[in-house]
Structure 1
Amino acid sequence: MSQVPLEAMLQARSVWNPEHARLREAAVEYAAHSWGVLPGTGCDGTRYLLGHTGDPAPGLVPVLRGARTLRDPRQVWHWWSLAPYSILARAAEQFTVLHLPVWLATEALARHSRGTPLCPAIVGPSGAALVITPDVEPPEGVPNLAVAQPGELIPLPPTRTLAGSITWHVTPEQAGWYPGQAEDVYDAVITAVAEGGYRAHRDSDRDRRATPRRRNPDEVPYGSHR
């Protein structure tokens, strides 16, 4: 493969379609900042596909079964040039994610409004996910919290799932490309709950947008052990 300058990769546009271009650009950007990524099955809005063959796939799963995550931007550029793959990361390599309702993520982030944001934050159709260091257990007694287990697959924006698209609420760039310190994030979450946020929003937990339902990766954009 020819040695394409990294800057040219980030600015390149796919000849297939804009969505493909965005996926490739994002995957290269992640790898350029040492975020390991895996190409995953694509989604056309009604089903998952292998991408390079167009064959149906059982869900949002890696195309390379058992492979190591990719960190070389040029290798990533090559893979995502083949097809509009989804972008997957493995929990506990560079970071993990804290799954929680959107309202609680928003309240916690608002309590750290000065300077660099508390952490990168993902929002999808079924909830939010805060990107944090994988070194501290989550607090007990806080409803609707779940931490991705080591090796769990984490879809990264702009991946699309059958439930809808995944986007950044706080981008990695805004957070300096660092995961949030788990203790600081947990403290912010506990404070948000203690100040009455849970009582004010508990009825909204019935809303799909506010409660992370992660048992079926075909419905929920935040995790898969498959």
Structure 2
Amino acid sequence: MLGTVRSDNWRRAFRVELRAEAIGLAFRGWPVLPGTYPVAGHWAGRDGSEDSTGPVPIHADWQDRVGTKAEQVATWWTGQPYSLLLATGLGYDAIEVGDDLGRRAARVLRSVGLPVPILATPEHRWFFLTRTGSGLTAELAANPDIALRGTGDWIPLPPSPFQHGVVHWRVKPEVCGWQIPTTETIQDALLDALREPTTRPLVATGD
């Protein structure tokens, strides 16, 4: 019984945190959406079976709900600790890469004094937020470790829960003054990171 109470209290507190983050981002004009959340090894919160490996929008008509005002967004998190999703392709895109490439690209951006919003999942995937723009260059598009998340897609935002941890910021938007870079800026950094000598040792930076 005590364990159940603690679990309920934790879930309630976590829902409050997710709701507060969703409201704050909605006020800033970010197209946020509620997504499924992990429970006992599966993703809950949406009618019907889901075999996804990550959160998906709980509303089938989620594309029609994009741009909902913050006051309405607040009501979406009054019942369950839904994941916090960002609809991409509508002013915001994201370039998804693996953990190693993400670290190297972040180092390239730091070297030129250009912090950008970066988030990471417990599944070792990094997302570089960009303004909606052009597609990936041919070199990046051919790399299986890189994906552009754009129109008709979404990404999880912190502090969305996963089966083994939560999504977290590697570089918070506040650090960048809430400025979102162009996709070309991030793609240039990724290309530079890919062309780094493979024998160069990686230095732990704590990012």
Q: TM-score range by the shorter chain?
A: 0.7 to 0.9
Runs of 4+ in 1 over 4 A off after TM superposition: none
Query: Per the alignment, in what secondary structure is the counterpart of residue 112 of structure 1?
Result: helix
Cα offset, 1:135, TM superposition: 0.9
Cα offset, 1:16, TM superposition: 5.6
5 Å-filtered alignment, 1:1-226, equals 17-50=12-45, 57-58=49-50, 59=52, 60-67=55-62, 68-113=65-110, 115=113, 117=115, 119-124=116-121, 125-142=123-140, 143=143, 144-162=145-163, 164-197=165-198
Q: Which has the higher strand share?
A: 2
Q: Which has the higher helix share?
A: 2
Looking at structure 1, the residues matched to 170 and 48 of structure 2 have their Cα atoms a distance apart, in angstroms, of 31
| TM-score normalised by the chain length of structure 2 | 0.77
| TM-score normalised by the chain length of structure 1 | 0.71
**CA pair 83-57 structure 1, distance change in 2 beyond 3 A:** farther
Q: Percent identity?
A: 25
Query: Per the alignment, in what secondary structure is the counterpart of residue 88 of structure 1?
Result: strand
Q: Deviations over 1:15-34 (max 9, x none)?
A: 96221122111111210110
Q: Deviations over 1:111-150 (max 9, x none)?
A: 2326551x21111123111111221222233432110141
Aligned residues of 2:132 and 2:150 also touching (Cα < 8 A): no
Cα offset, 1:178, TM superposition: 2.9
Cα offset, 1:42, TM superposition: 2.1
Bigger Cα displacement from structure 2, 135-144 vs 100-109? 135-144
Aligned residues of 2:158 and 2:168 also touching (Cα < 8 A): yes
Query: 2:32 corresponds to which letter in structure 1?
Result: V
CA RMSD of aligned residues (A): 2.5
Q: How many residues align?
A: 183
